[in-house]
Structure 1
Amino acid sequence: MQNIAPDTRPRYRERLSPSLWLLVTVALAGPMVSLIFIPLASATFALIIGAAVSALLVIGLVSVAPLVSVEGEVLRAGRAHIACRHLGEPVPLTGDEARQARGPALPARGWHMIRGGIDGIVVVPNLDVDDPVDTWTISTRTPDRLAAAIRRAKD
């Protein structure tokens, strides 16, 4: 017997986690917290509290990072989602083209999920006439793969 259930495995999945430099910078809050607790408690206790603060901050930043995925026929970017049948041809951009698309060429009526420290973006026109959003602009580290996943989901 054939499995006739639709394929809902993710065609593309990426967590837009913060850069390593941002994580290191946030982790430096731990030693500062340790310095605050040294006069109030023992040095060992202060180091434990500092390490816990660093770990919680790093885990918190990674856990709240948005997820971009193409699952089945749906594009998800953070909390937003749209059926790929409503989307036009995705345009993957990197370098100066991506910087231009994130800045002066950014459409005012578009939906944007732009993250600092991530160079690539994909701009996808929205063809749904009932939707007030013209385009979707999504940050991604692998714009070619995301664009290919959107094309496959449309077919």
Structure 2
Amino acid sequence: MPDASADSARPRALSDAAPLHRERLLPSIGVWIVGVAFGSVLGVILVPLSHALSLAVGIVGVVGVCVMLAMASPVLEVSGAALRAGRAQIPVDLLGEPEVLDKEGWTVAMSVGFEPLAFHLTRGWVHTGVRVPVLDEADPTPAWVLSTRRPEDLALALRSARSQRS
């Protein structure tokens, strides 16, 4: 039988390290309320047939919509040597200095300062974010623009990950 203490003493690979930053971009309260209302309407439709059936379908509908909203919410993660935004990822070595976008900066970035060639992972219910330039000359993407409720934390995690790599 393998010794568990030997496994814990072994250093973890950089990609297996605990994330420096992890955030799931869950919907706002308003989206949750609309989701619950939509799920319950599925049950209300069946009231003329059976009250018990309509209650059961309503409960399943509310739970199902809530689970779908949570599962469809992307995750931002800085872990090891990479930034992961949803299903996309990029090595932190290829990223420049992150720019924290407060509410005003975010408004500019999403309107007159919009970069059509940048990689965007944005959510309408999050009004702050981070813009990180891509330093790779061969990459046509000039930057990553990411919604985040904690832009200072994400920027700090990116700086830390970059400094650990150099």
Partner of 1:69: 77
Gaps of 5+ in 2: 1-5
Divergent runs of 4+, >6 A: none
Deviation at 1:120, TM superposition (A): 0.9
Contact in 2 for aligned 1:29/1:50 (Cα 8 Å): no
TM-score, with structure 1 as normaliser: 0.93
1:56 and 2:64 are equivalent in the alignment: yes
The amino acid of 1:130's aligned partner reads A
Identify the match of residue 44 of structure 2 among 5, 12, 35: 35
Quote the Cα distance in structure 1 between the aligned partners of 2:121 and 2:66. 21
Quote the Cα distance in structure 1 between the aligned partners of 2:142 and 2:132. 9
Offset from partner CA, 1:39-76 (integer Å, 9 cap, x none) = 112x1221111111011001111111111000101000
Contact in 1 for aligned 2:43/2:61 (Cα 8 Å): no
Partner of 1:137: 145
Deviation at 1:4, TM superposition (A): 4.2
TM-score, with structure 2 as normaliser: 0.87
Partner of 2:107: 99
RMSD: 1.5
Partner of 2:132: 124
**Helix, strand or coil for the counterpart of 2:140?**
coil
The amino acid of 2:103's aligned partner reads G
Aligned residues: 154
Partner of 1:19: 28
1:108 and 2:116 are equivalent in the alignment: yes
Quote the Cα distance in structure 1 between the aligned partners of 2:145 and 2:135. 14
Identity %: 32
Contact in 1 for aligned 2:19/2:80 (Cα 8 Å): yes
Contact in 2 for aligned 1:91/1:123 (Cα 8 Å): yes
Bigger mean CA deviation after superposition, 5-14 or 124-133: 5-14
Identify the match of residue 97 of structure 2 among 64, 89, 101: 89
**Helix, strand or coil for the counterpart of 2:125?**
coil
The amino acid of 2:93's aligned partner reads R
**Helix, strand or coil for the counterpart of 1:122?**
strand
Offset from partner CA, 1:98-127 (integer Å, 9 cap, x none) = 110122101122111111110111000000
